[in-house]
């Protein structure tokens, strides 16, 4: 199994362009693409099979997961001084994901369900109550190979970003806790592909660690 590549990036928010990127999930995703061959041009596809996932941990720190080895030097060459530093490690989770094993997790997700509006059209609606949000996470576990053992909501709030002239509004929830592995293959697929929607906007990255 091809390992995952986990990167921790430290941005320099003293640079005006970088500060704007850090305030806009859409712009930040476009900037991250410059670290992957051929994908820096807006609209160009990522390498075949790539699913670029990321999560902003604080004002200047990002955790990025990719299937393709990233080239952060290329990003820094295009926008000199945007990165103060980075580290990359290759991770193979196949041995860690065994049935019954307990693991710590962290996930920022766009927690939504589909509902019909007054015209009978199916639309996504954000779940804003903590009970509904945790029930959503339990359902994700049933579908993706894990039992939810314990979970806290570390943060819940609204994120707005611009894509051209369009304003996108997301309700995001950051979960932390412990899960139990029930189906290693399904859980590995979830880690590699992300959970939920708005993955290009900093949601969906499921981080696992020893429990």
Within-domain flag for 97: no
Q: Residue 52: exposed, middle, or buried by beta-carbon count in 10 A (0-12, 13-18, 19+)? A: buried
| Residues 110, 188 within the same domain | yes
Question: What pLDDT, on the 0 to 100 scale, is given for residue 110?
Answer: 95
Report the pLDDT value the prediction gives residue 114, as an integer from 0 to 100. Answer: 76
Query: What CATH number is attached to the domain comprising 145?
Result: 3.30.70.1210
Q: Does any domain span residue 96?
A: no
According to the model, what pLDDT value does residue 36 have?
A: 87
Q: Let me know whether 86 and 106 are in one domain.
A: no
Do 96 and 163 contact (CB within 8 A), yes or no?
A: no
Residues 200, 149, single domain; the answer is: yes
Q: Tell me the CATH number at 74.
A: 3.30.70.1200
Distance CA 113, CA 134 (A): 13
User: Which of residues 91, 122, 150 is at a domain's end?
Assistant: 91
Does residue 10 sit in the same domain as residue 67? yes
pLDDT at 123: 77
Low-confidence ranges of the chain (pLDDT < 50): none
Q: How far apart are CA 110 and CA 126, in angstroms?
A: 8
Co-location of 110 and 204 in the same domain: yes
Domain membership flag for residue 143: yes
The residue segments making up the domain with residue 40 are: 4-91
pLDDT of residue 119: 66
One domain for residues 87 and 147: no
- Write the pLDDT tens digit of every residue in 80-137: 889 999 999 999 999 999 999 999 999 999 999 877 666 666 677 889 999 999 999 9
- Whether 84 and 13 map to the same domain: the answer is yes
Q: How many domains does the chain have?
A: 2
> Residues 129, 192: one domain?
yes
């Amino acid at each position: 199994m091809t390992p995952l590549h986990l990167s921790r990036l430290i941005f320099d928010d003293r640079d005006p362009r970088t500060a704007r990127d850090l305030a806009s999930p859409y712009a930040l995703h476009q900037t991250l693409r410059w670290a992957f061959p051929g994908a820096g041009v807006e609209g160009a596809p990522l390498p075949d099979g790539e699913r670029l996932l990321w999560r902003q941990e604080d004002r200047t720190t990002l955790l990025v997961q990719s299937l393709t080895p990233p080239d952060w030097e290329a990003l820094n060459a295009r926008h000199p001084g945007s990165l103060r530093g980075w580290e990359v490690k290759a991770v193979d989770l196949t041995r860690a994901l065994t049935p019954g094993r307990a693991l710590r997790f962290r996930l920022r997700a766009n927690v939504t369900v589909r509902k019909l509006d007054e015209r009978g059209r199916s639309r996504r609606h954000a779940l804003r109550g903590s009970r509904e949000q945790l029930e959503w996470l339990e359902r994700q576990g049933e579908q993706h190979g894990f039992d939810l053992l314990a979970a806290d909501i570390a943060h819940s709030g609204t994120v707005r970003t611009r894509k051209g002239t369009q304003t996108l509004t997301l309700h995001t929830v950051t979960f932390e806790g412990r899960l139990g592995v029930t189906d290693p293959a399904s859980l590995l697929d979830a880690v590699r592909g992300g959970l939920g929607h708005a993955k290009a906007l900093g949601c969906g990255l499921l981080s696992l660690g020893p429990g």
